[in-house]
Amino acid sequence: MGYPASDPPWGDDPTRDPGWRPVLRQLPFIVVPQLSLARARRGGHGVMLLRVVYASFVWALLAFGMVLPFVVTPLRHGYTLTAVLLGASSLICYGVEPRIEKPLRCGSRVELANSYRTRFFLRIAFGEAIALFGFVATFVDGHLVSYYVGLVLVAPAFVRAAPGVGAFQREQDALTAQGCGESLVAALRSTPPAPRRHPYT
């Protein structure tokens, strides 16, 4: 497969997945998402940026879990609201989301990359809804376990959304089987999202 001369000078095969190692070097900055995202954007590497974003979402959920014990006032209410909210949000996430997400589009590199990012954020958003409802139930019911049960329930959604090496390979195999000649990794690497004009990023 040929690549135009305008591609970024990666210095290697643009279809090669760099893996998670570049992201590991960003972990000290994940505690400040704006800083880690700004560093990833300066690198101009779409795959790395996507994985830094994913790591930031995971860190945010864990951080809430570490803070809640210090801010939640225990109450004597039952778990009715917790069961309703977590049950409803799980049903929406695992029952509705797969039905509304769209398959990857392979018209061009930009289209392929954008369709993957759209699906990625859709999966993250639906998954985070479970944790969000658990967060609300924690303050209403006064039981810390509500949020932690939400984290357990959200785990499969985040695993499904993870932009991992194996996940990219499975997506690529499916694209190839459909007759797509584009590389998903190359599309994400060469077409990173445009930097947002925001004073904090």
Q: Determine how many CB atoms are found less than 10 A away from the CB of residue 25.
A: 10
In the DSSP assignment, the letter for residue 16 is S
- Structure token digits, residue 155: 């785990």
Tens digit of each residue's pLDDT (9 = 90 or more) over 51-91: 888 988 998 899 888 888 888 776 666 667 677 778 888 88
Spatial contact of 112 and 184, defined as CB atoms under 8 Å apart: yes
User: Whats the size of the chain, residue-wise?
Assistant: 201
Q: Is 161 left (phi over 0), alpha (psi -120 to 50) or beta?
A: alpha
Tens digit of each residue's pLDDT (9 = 90 or more) over 80-130: 767 777 888 888 889 888 889 999 998 888 999 999 999 999 999 998 988
* Domain spans, the chain: 21-190
| Nearest to 164, CA basis, from 40, 50, 1, 87 | 50
Predicted TM-score of the model (pTM): 0.79
Q: How far is CA 32 from CA 38, 91, 106, 197, in A?
A: 10, 32, 35, 18
**42 compared with 18, residue with greater pLDDT:** 18
